């Protein structure tokens, strides 16, 4: 077991009763425990020696698409896909239809998640009404309804004054603002990273400056107006440098990246592969390396999937017209484990980026694996190899550039409250 | 080869084969009876999602000279508005059992998408800002006719490079030969990270010094709302070819334009109508090149 919440590591026996962890016992005390327990037919014993137990992973950036785009993904399929990927908690972005900019939508999502969901769902409210970037949404009421953070993800907040107001106002509710950093004027309908390759392919480019200018802006606003900012899906070396400097200056900034930004480069779109079309776009080797380094140094706090499922009809079109996004929740953790297998991060560092760090940023007070806490953990064979098969995705979104990849690390079981998921054969 | 999607996919050998074949077809075009029975009984469809008169006419004539049955399918945005995807349009057309599809589309990569989803031979007549391979081939053919060679030439491409599929296809074609390639124009219309084998010039006089071929690109009026250049007037003032070029251009340099040209923007009337301009020759050669391309492609067995 590795648990960053309790800061405990070791070989343990974990007893779960009625969805609650009743005992976490170091292995050498096993004997006394066994005699104390009362075996009954309802007891399931899982022998997990050689495997790891981690707290359930948290994905602080997903798109569940419900309400409004149920043909892309539903709360039922999205949360089950999350479980399959090792996530027992996910945060869903506000760009649904209707937008999650009023408490009714938040209640709807939470009710649906309770009814049909497999994991915990933490909605992220819109910063502005309708994601229009004009008027602040009712952030206090949204928070009271259950939103844990605020973001206009997908529709970058271009107006710096509105961003200032959002940051200031967010202090009343103690919930972070998550910024999708993109200057839409500079992106100018671009569809991939701008550079030699975009010129070669005849595709309009999105310069790195488009992201970096907004990262700078948000860091400056955070600094001047003393409110936390979380930078979503960092994709460039320049952004890493800005965040690093800000952190050194004591600015309350946190950051996330996604597996595709430290696994792929713009080369993935060479064949006009629409499944590698994502926003921000895949960048260059230099950026990929800087992001890996930033994960190592702790400049980037969180790995999130930015799970963005789309229907096949939205990807089976010429590259320029394809929608942005990768269905990532089922591959995010296994792709990230490559950093461990390659000796870049140790396992604990990686698990922190999926558990305690997002929990702290979002202030969702996860407990980790400790007695008396709700069961919220996963069992992982980090050596088990498997082949990504998009047709086997539980997610309705089959849009992955990783189809056919051989990955190492498989979630075998997930425990979330009274729910137990046996994922061994999937 | 099944399709012609881009010059990117061609070797020098492929290019030379097309140019040689076009030479034979050009002779046919000079005869009294300009039609050959080569592809009688086969069908071509010209699938144009962007308005085009010249390219479509040139393809249509080439197809008719090869005795193909020709369908023209000009799709304004109307059926796109109706919600039909390119894939569905394509499947509809495939149900007609056509052998050749000539496609023009505003999205880069559209021709490749079409080629991957049909058994017919697909010829790219321009996809977004990506490629316009038959234009580059006819340009090469015209250069060869006038200059007798492509190797050893210095070629300047002038104008809106970043938005030009003609510039890209010409770049890839000329890169197969021993050439010096220059991009000339305002910095806002030139690539930020140019290909390694290209020299960049902002100054027209410097850019055209010692060149053998000047390729002009159309400055698209409709793009200027994005403020790449302050005005067409200023463009003409700085980068337009005016008769003063004759004072510094090599005496045997030729001037080309893919058409339609804007007199008073890319080029002045005096230059357009001068003996240096081979613009009309390019138009004639376009038919021979397109005949050659269609002739050399082989649709997949259905």
B31, B82, B192, B302: the active-site residue = B82
pLDDT of residue A35: 40
pLDDT of residue A27: 76
Lowest mean pLDDT among A16-30, A54-68, A273-287, B208-222: A16-30
Instruction: Indicate the pLDDT class of residue B103, thresholds 50, 70 and 90.
Output: very high
DSSP secondary structure, chain B, as one string: ---B--GGG--HHHHHHHHHHHHHHHHHHTSSS----TTTT-EEEEEESS--SHHHHHHHHHHHHTT-EEEEEE--HHHHHTT--HHHHHHHHHTTT-SEEEEEESSTTHHHHHHHT-SSEEEEEEETTTB-HHHHHHHHHHHHHHHS-STT-EEEEES--TT-HHHHHHHHHHTTSS-EEEEES-GGGS-SS--TTEEEES-HHHHHTT-SEEEE-PPPGGGGGG-SSS-HHHHHHHHSB-GGGGGTS-TT-EEE--S---BTTTB-HHHHTSTTB-HHHHHHHHHHHHHHHHHH--PPP-
CB contact under 8 A, B131 and A202: yes
pLDDT of residue A290: 98
Q: Give the B-side interface with A, CB within 8 Å.
A: 8, 85-87, 105, 107-110, 112-113, 127-131, 162, 165, 168, 191-195, 226
Residue range A69-89: average pLDDT?
A: 98
CB contact under 8 A, B194 and A320: no
Residue B55 annotated among the catalytic residues of the structure: yes
Higher pLDDT among residues A28 and B153, named by residue? B153
Residue B26 annotated among the catalytic residues of the structure: no
Which of B110, B165, B193 shows the shortest C-beta gap to A318?
A: B110
Report the complex ipTM: 0.91
A59, A101, A287, A306: the active-site residue = A306
Instruction: Name residues whose C-beta falls within 8 Å of residue B170's C-beta, 6 or more positions apart in sequence.
Output: B135, B136, B139, B155, B157, B215
Contacts of B108 in chain A (CB under 8 A): 201-204, 318-320
Share of chain A above pLDDT 90, in %: 92
Instruction: Indicate the pLDDT class of residue A295, thresholds 50, 70 and 90.
Output: very high
Which of B85, B165, B195 shows the shortest C-beta gap to A202?
A: B165
Share of chain B above pLDDT 70, in %: 95
B12, B35, B40, B54: the active-site residue = B54
pTM of the model as a whole = 0.92
Contacts of A195 in chain B (CB under 8 A): 192-193
Which of A195, A313, A321 shows the shortest C-beta gap to B107?
A: A321
pLDDT of residue B44: 97
CB contact under 8 A, A204 and B129: yes
Q: Is the pLDDT assigned to residue B84 strictly greater than 80?
A: no
Instruction: Indicate the pLDDT class of residue B51, thresholds 50, 70 and 90.
Output: confident
Smallest Cα distance from B128 to chain A, Å: 8
Q: Is the pLDDT assigned to residue A272 strictly greater than 50?
A: yes
pLDDT of residue A40: 56
pLDDT of residue A335: 98
pLDDT of residue A44: 81
Instruction: Indicate the pLDDT class of residue A49, thresholds 50, 70 and 90.
Output: confident
Contacts of A312 in chain B (CB under 8 A): none
pLDDT of residue A31: 47
For chain A, the maximum distance between any two Cα atoms, rounded to a whole number of angstroms, is: 71
Q: Is the pLDDT assigned to residue B80 strictly greater than 60?
A: no
Higher pLDDT among residues A31 and A335, named by residue? A335
Q: Is the pLDDT assigned to residue A351 strictly greater than 50?
A: yes
pLDDT in tens, A166-186: 999 999 999 999 999 999 999
Residue A306 annotated among the catalytic residues of the structure: yes
Q: C-alpha distances in angstroms, A242 versus A168, A180, A259, B221?
A: 21, 15, 20, 39
Q: Is the pLDDT assigned to residue A36 strictly greater than 80?
A: no
pLDDT in tens, B265-289: 999 999 999 999 999 999 999 999 9
Which of A202, A207, A313 shows the shortest C-beta gap to B85?
A: A313
């Amino acid at each position: 077991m590795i648990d960053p919440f309790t800061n405990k590591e070791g070989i343990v026996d974990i007893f779960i009763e009625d969805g609650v962890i009743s005992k976490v016992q170091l292995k050498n005390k096993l004997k006394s425990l066994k005699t104390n327990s009362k075996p009954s037919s309802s007891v399931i014993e899982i022998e997990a020696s050689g495997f790891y137990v981690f707290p359930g992973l948290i994905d602080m950036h997903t798109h569940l698409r419900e309400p409004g785009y149920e043909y892309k993904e539903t709360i039922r399929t999205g949360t089950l896909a999350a479980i399959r990927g090792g996530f027992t908690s996910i945060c869903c972005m506000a760009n649904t239809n209707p937008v999650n900019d009023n408490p009714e939508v938040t209640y709807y999502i939470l009710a649906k998640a309770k009814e049909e969901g497999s994991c915990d769902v933490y909605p992220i409210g819109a910063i502005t009404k309708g994601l229009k970037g004009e008027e602040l949404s009712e952030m206090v009421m949204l928070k009271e309804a259950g939103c844990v953070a605020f973001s206009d993800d997908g529709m970058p907040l271009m107006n710096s004054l509105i961003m200032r107001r959002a940051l200031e106002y967010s202090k009343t509710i103690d919930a972070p603002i998550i910024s999708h950093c993109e200057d839409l004027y500079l992106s100018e309908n671009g569809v991939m990273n701008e550079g030699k390759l975009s010129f070669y392919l005849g595709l309009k480019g999105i310069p790195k400056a488009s992201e970096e200018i907004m990262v700078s802006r948000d860091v400056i606003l955070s600094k001047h107006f003393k409110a936390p900012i979380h930078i979503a899906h960092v994709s460039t070396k320049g952004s890493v440098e800005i965040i690093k400097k800000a952190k050194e200056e004591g600015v309350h900034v946190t950051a996330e990246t996604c597996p595709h930004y430290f696994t792929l480069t713009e080369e993935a779109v060479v064949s006009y592969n629409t499944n590698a079309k994502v926003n921000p776009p895949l960048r260059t080797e230099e950026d990929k390396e800087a992001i890996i380094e930033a994960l190592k140094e702790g400049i980037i706090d969180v790995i999130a999937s930015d799970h963005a499922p789309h229907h096949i009809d939205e990807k089976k079109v010429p590259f320029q017209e394809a929608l942005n996004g990768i269905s990532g929740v089922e591959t995010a953790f296994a792709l990230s484990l490559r950093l461990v297998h390659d000796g870049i991060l140790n396992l604990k560092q990686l698990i922190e980026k999926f558990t305690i760090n997002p929990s702290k940023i979002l202030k969702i007070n996860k407990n980790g694996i400790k007695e008396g806490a709700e069961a919220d953990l996963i069992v992982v064979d980090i050596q088990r190899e498997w082949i990504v098969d998009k047709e086997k995705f539980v997610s309705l979104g089959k849009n992955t550039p990783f189809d056919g990849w051989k990955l190492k690390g498989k979630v075998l079981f997930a425990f979330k409250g009274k729910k137990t998921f046996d994922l061994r054969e999937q | 080869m099944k399709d012609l999607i881009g010059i990117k996919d061609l070797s020098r050998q492929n290019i030379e084969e097309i140019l040689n074949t076009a030479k034979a077809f050009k002779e046919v075009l000079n005869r009294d009876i300009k039609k050959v029975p080569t592809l009688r009984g086969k069908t071509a469809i010209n699938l144009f999602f962007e308005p085009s008169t010249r390219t479509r006419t040139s393809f249509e004539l080439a197809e008719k000279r090869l005795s193909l049955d020709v369908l023209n399918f000009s799709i304004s945005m109307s059926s796109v508005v109706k919600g039909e995807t390119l894939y569905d349009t394509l499947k509809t057309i495939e149900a007609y059992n056509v052998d050749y599809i000539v496609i023009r589309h505003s999205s880069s990569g559209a021709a490749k998408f079409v080629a991957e989803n049909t058994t017919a031979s697909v010829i790219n007549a321009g996809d977004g800002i990506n490629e316009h391979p038959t234009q580059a081939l006819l340009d090469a053919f015209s250069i060869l006719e006038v200059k007798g060679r492509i190797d050893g030439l210095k070629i300047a491409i002038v104008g809106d490079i970043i938005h030009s599929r003609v510039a890209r296809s010409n770049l890839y074609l000329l890169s197969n030969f021993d050439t010096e390639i220059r991009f000339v124009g305002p910095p806002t219309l030139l690539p930020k990270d140019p290909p390694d084998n290209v020299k960049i010039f902002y100054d027209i006089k410097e850019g055209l010094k010692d060149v053998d071929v000047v390729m002009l690109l159309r400055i698209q009026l409709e793009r200027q709302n994005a403020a790449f250049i302050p005005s067409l007037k200023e463009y003409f003032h700085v980068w337009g070819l005016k008769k003063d070029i004759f004072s510094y251009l090599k005496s045997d340099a030729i001037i080309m334009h893919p058409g339609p040209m804007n007199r008073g923007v890319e080029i002045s009337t005096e230059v357009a109508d001068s003996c240096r301009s081979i613009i009309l020759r390019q138009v004639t050669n376009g038919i021979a090149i397109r005949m050659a391309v269609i002739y050399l492609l082989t649709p997949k067995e259905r």
